[in-house]
Structure 1
Amino acid sequence: MEKETKQETQDKQEKPKRNKKKIAIIAVLVIIAGAFCATSLDRVGQGEVGVVYTMRSGVQDKTLSPGYHFIAPWATVKHYPVAQQQLVLSDNPEDYHGDESADWHVDAPANGGMVKLNMTVNYNFIPDRVTDLYEKFNGMDGDQIVDTMVQNSIIAYIKEVTPQFSVMDIYSDKRSEVSKTITEYLNAKLTEEYGINISSALIIDVQLDEALQEKVKAKEQAKQDAEKAELDKQTAIAQGEADKARAEAAAAVTITNAKAEAEANKIISDSITDNLIRMTEAEARKKHGWVTVKGADTVVADATKGQ
């Protein structure tokens, strides 16, 4: 065999180094490609839409539907919930269903005092409005808009509604009507201002201070007493009518019996004739030797009695 030249030997020694360099370059390219894919892949959750923005073209009219989407690395995507979401305004941790709770109850004015409301507000962003909202609120996503602005607006608007109702209306008698009025008012305000639809605003609980609680208890007791008095009155009236009906029935029976007895006596009286008297007298004499027979207006006695 021919001996390797010096160049060939050098090439063999350099080859592993070149291979390592290629591998390193490929690894860097893979990392760059992975980073590109990671920054270009966006996931839009179920019940959301994504708004895409780039410095060059601004906000895109078409929103992203739920799922994974490849976007340019220089593009920004913000998400907005278009399915129903629930905002809890309460100081009761149980109302948050295990989620982190916050004291977001509403201290609302009412006719006759202040009430503390625990509420749930069900809402969603209107799909056709989200691109405008991105521009209006400087690129905020849906959660940021709700957390920083919508919650405070909802509380303020609720306080504009509650003075239409008395404390007792809100506490017991008209709670559903109050909830309906709040829902309609929030829709009128939030649809225009934030592109949000309110499907319902429901009062979970109403709390009163001690003074109002005592007033409510007194009013409830007075109402119960009045209802009981009215019930007693109606019961007495019904009882009196029943007694009267029984008395009238008894009187009717007495009159009927008296008429029947008089009719019977008349029949008996009419049946005693002279012939009947003589017949009875004859039968009695024959059997007993004497007899006394009384008629309606006649008394016949045996003249031989005692002989």
Structure 2
Amino acid sequence: MNKGIFVGLVIAAAVIGATYTVMSIEKVGQGEVGVVWTAKEGVHENTLSPGWHFVGPLAKVKNYPVSQQQIIFSNNPEDYSKKEHPDWHIDAPANGGMVKLNMTVNYNFLNDRVVNLYTRFNGMDGSSIVEGMVQNSIIAYVKEVTPQFSVMDIYSSKRAEVSTAITDYLNEKLRDEYGINISSALIIDVQLDDALYSKIQEKERAKQDAEKAELDKKTAIAVAEKEQEIARREAEKNKEVALIQAEQEKQKAEIEADQRKIQAEGEANATKIKAEAEAEANQKIAASLTPELLEKAKYERWNGQLPTIQGNTTPIVDLK
């Protein structure tokens, strides 16, 4: 055999071998599983895990993300990565008007459903199913949930509740329809047209004014109750002070009465003692007076004048 022909055959065989090898190797990305199809065996029941796999040159492998993925519906360019769709918010009906929702939806394919999905959707991979059908289904299902809530609920007070309701409804629909689990559907922004926004603002201001009036009322009541409590405590304090003062005055009066009584009793005793002493002295004096002493006293008191005569001649001796 000609050497050149042999070398050519070797090179051709090597090229064919390399091409066969390259065509037989498939990569399954991180967070994905691969579904294998061959003409001879059809769809394989077992999926491929992340990594490189030798499957044969005629096999087809389609990947499905089973780790968390995210779809963004927004008209804000800052919410998007390079691969996402720009200006793709959801115009949703609500009780009282329309709202524009910017949302993020976190999802993943269920591992045990991907083989059936491959068969059902004619060999479409996970990305094609999401971009071709799931995204539009999400928009439609969100619009079925939002009419249950008012514009004000979605715009402000019940946004978290609306997000939960959307998440539950998407799970209910998408699990059966596409084998997809929705871990969360979050409203990141709500936009209104100018007329509706003004109307909402007026309601919000009215609500705030009512809340302020109620707060002012409660504050006034609290202040009045506090003042009443202070007045009550002051009155109780004054009452206690008056009772204390009255008790002190009573005790003082009792002490003064006792003192006057003691003083009166002392004075009475002193008078009694003095009278008794005088009486005793008089008794002693009376006992000591004899007729002779009385006569002597008369003469001692006589001033030497002759007695005066009045009427008849009977003399009257005046010892005064």
Q: TM-score, normalised by structure 2?
A: 0.77
Alignment equivalent of 2:60, drawn from 65, 76, 83: 76
The separation in 2 between residues aligned to 1:237 and 1:101, in whole angstroms, is 56
Question: Aligned to 2:138, which of 130, 150, 154?
Answer: 154
What's the counterpart of residue 86 of structure 1?
70
Query: Larger C-alpha radius of gyration, 1 or 2?
Result: 2
CA contact (8 A) 1:93 1:101 kept: no
- Measured against aligned partners, the alpha-carbon deviations of 1:179-217 in whole angstroms (never above 9, x if no partner) come to 111111111111111111111111111111111111221
Question: Given residue 261 of structure 1, which amino acid in structure 2 is its aligned partner?
Answer: Q
Partner Cα separation in structure 1 for residue 124 and residue 261 of structure 2: 126
Aligned to 1:221: 205
Give the match for residue 293 of structure 1.
none
CA gap 1:240/1:33 in 2 versus in 1, 3 angstroms:
same
Cα distance in 1, alignment partners of residues 236 and 166 from structure 2: 65
Q: What letter matches 1:172 in structure 2?
A: S
Deviations 1:113-153, CA, capped at 9 Å, x for gaps: 00101111111111221121112111111111111111111
Q: Is the 8 A contact 1:106 1:116 kept in 2?
A: yes
Q: Which residue of structure 2 aligns with residue 285 of structure 1?
A: none
Alpha-carbon distance in 2 for matches of 1:41, 1:155:
38
Question: What do residues 157-197 of structure 1 show as CA deviations (whole Å, max 9, x unaligned)?
Answer: 11011101111111111111111111111111111111111
Aligned residue for 1:241?
A: 225
1:102 counterpart SS class:
coil
Residue aligning to 2:274:
none
Aligned to 2:89: 105
Secondary structure of 1:229 counterpart? helix
Percent identical among aligned pairs is 58
Matches of 2:249 and 2:60, distance apart in 1: 116
Residue 257 of structure 1, CA deviation: 3.1
In 2, the alpha carbon distance for the partners of 1:206 and 1:100 equals 20
From the superposition, tell whether residues 73 and 221 of structure 1 become closer, same or farther in structure 2 (CA, over 3 Å). Answer: same
Using the TM superposition, give the Cα deviation of residue 42 of structure 1 relative to its aligned residue in structure 2, in angstroms: 0.5
Aligned pair 1:120/2:107, yes or no?
A: no
Contact persistence 2:72–2:84 (CA under 8 A): no
Counting only pairs closer than 5 Å after superposition, residues 1-307 of structure 1 correspond to structure 2 as: 18-270=2-254, 271-272=256-257, 273-276=260-263
How far residue 110 of structure 1 moved from its aligned partner, in angstroms, is: 0.4
1:274/1:195 Cα in 2 relative to 1: closer, same or farther (>3 Å)?
Answer: closer
- Assess if the C-alpha contact under 8 Å between 1:78 and 1:139 holds in 2: yes
CA drift at 1:100: 4.3
RMSD over aligned CA atoms reads 2.0
Equivalent pairs, count: 264
In structure 2, what is the Cα distance between the partners aligned to 1:49 and 1:266?
A: 101
SS state at 1:56 partner: coil
- On the 8 A contact 2:107/2:183 being kept in 1, the answer is yes
Unaligned runs of 5+ in 2: 268-320
Shift of the 169–21 alpha-carbon distance from structure 1 to 2, 3 Å rule, reads same
8 Å contact from structure 1 (residues 39, 73) kept in 2: yes
SS at match of 1:131: helix
CA distance in structure 2 between the aligned counterparts of 1:274 and 1:83, rounded to whole angstroms? 107
Question: CA–CA distance in 1 between the matches of 2:243 and 2:114?
Answer: 95
Alpha-carbon deviations, 1:221-262, whole Å to 9, x = none?
112111111111111111111222222222233333333333
Distance 1:65 1:268 in 2: 104
Gaps of 5+ in 1: 1-14, 281-307
Question: CA-to-partner distance for each residue in 1:255-280, whole Å, 9 max, x for gaps?
Answer: 33333333333333332415537989
Distance 1:256 1:212 in 2: 65
Write the distance in 2 (CA, Å) between the matches of 1:268 and 1:188: 91
- Are the structure 2 counterparts of residues 75 and 257 from structure 1 closer, same or farther at C-alpha, using a change threshold of 3 Å? closer
Q: 1:58 to 1:277 in 2, by over 3 A?
A: same
